[in-house]
Amino acid sequence: MTRPFLSDNAAPVHPKVWEALLAADASDAPYDGDALSQRLDEAFSALFAREVAVLWAATGTAANCLALATLVPPHGGVICHREAHIEVDEGGAPGFYLHGAKLLLAEGEGAKLTPESIAAVIDPIRDDVHQVQPHAISVTQASEYGRCYRPEELAEITTRARARKLALHMDGARFANAAAFLGCSPAEAAGDVDALSFGCIKNGGMSAEAIVFFDPALADVARYRRKRAGHLQSKGRYLAAQLHAMLADDMWLSNARAANAAAAEIAAACGGRLMHPVEANELFVRLSPTEREILREQEFGFYDWGPDAARFVTAWNTREEDALALAQAIAGL
């Protein structure tokens, strides 16, 4: 496979991240006592223009679950989309980290929740001990189908959540792509959530995601949970370094813009084949088995998406020529 559109998950590490890793090589305090880890709160507080507390973690799954575990008791429930990553692709990790708390599944176009789809889950729940009560809502920015919540959509969900005393979590594995698409500030793209998994690995990092707590008291609990989950790495400076590199000069945004631009270029060639509007770096394209075969013969790598479609993902390192080639190949089918 020479033209990779399989996943941003497997892309190489950005040169600036390598630089930061190598620069972190001198000995420093173990765990998260090093200077780089200690400066994360400051760096992200600047990004979000408010005081936040930040922990690194090695995967998005860990980031999501450590965040949720601070928001939901073992006997509670989390409302999320039926196709959310925490429901579909994390191997039951929320059940593990939340000690059996339940995911309460909601509908919504483009894998996005709406106030109505949330209400459709909550409203039938009897307020008694026989039914698991909702304690939090988890949204994904950008969604599993690469769709972005507009700030006003987040505001509506937040209002609904606050009225029901529900906490709010955002899975931001592709938060950068969403922010790049929305063109708003990071704070606006995050809305008023309590905790955000801020993804870096898909965006040029090696092994570090950030868990951003907008209520620093939650971070204090999460630190114990992180250790207890075996996620407190002893040489934490190598994780912190990646995050700092991503924030420096807004590389997280420029990398995401590059990925989004490549996706947009391909999207323009897909016309009616698109199953979802392309707002981030994922394309879901109707393609027959024969058409997919033709593309694969041209060395394009991608996943099948059911019997009649394919998923293409661009990344920070997608080459202009590859995006163009794919666009032309699809146009020529």
Q: CB pairs under 8 A, 24+ apart, for 269-274?
A: 269/326, 269/327, 269/328, 269/330, 269/331, 270/330, 273/330
Examine residue 226 and tell whether it contacts a second copy (CB under 8 A). Answer: yes
Examine residue 73 and tell whether it contacts a second copy (CB under 8 A). Answer: yes
**Sole binder of a second copy in the list 16, 39, 150, 223 (CB under 8 A):** 223
Two tokens, residue 278? 């392309």
Binding mask 172-211 for a second copy (x = CB under 8 A): -----------------------------xx---xx----
Q: How far is the CB of 185 from a second copy (least distance, A)?
A: 28
Examine residue 235 and tell whether it contacts a second copy (CB under 8 A). Answer: yes
Show contacts with a second copy in window 109-138 (CB under 8 A): 129-133
Examine residue 20 and tell whether it contacts a second copy (CB under 8 A). Answer: no
Per DSSP, the three-state class of 266 is: helix
CB atoms within 10 A of CB 227: 12
CA distance 187 to 193: 10
Binding mask 243-282 for a second copy (x = CB under 8 A): ----------------------------------------
Examine residue 4 and tell whether it contacts a second copy (CB under 8 A). Answer: yes
Q: How far is the CB of 222 from a second copy (least distance, A)?
A: 10
**Sole binder of a second copy in the list 84, 142, 232, 251 (CB under 8 A):** 232
3-state secondary structure 137-190: EEEECCCCCCCCCCHHHHHHHHHHHHHCCCEEEEEECCHHHHHHHHCCCHHHHH
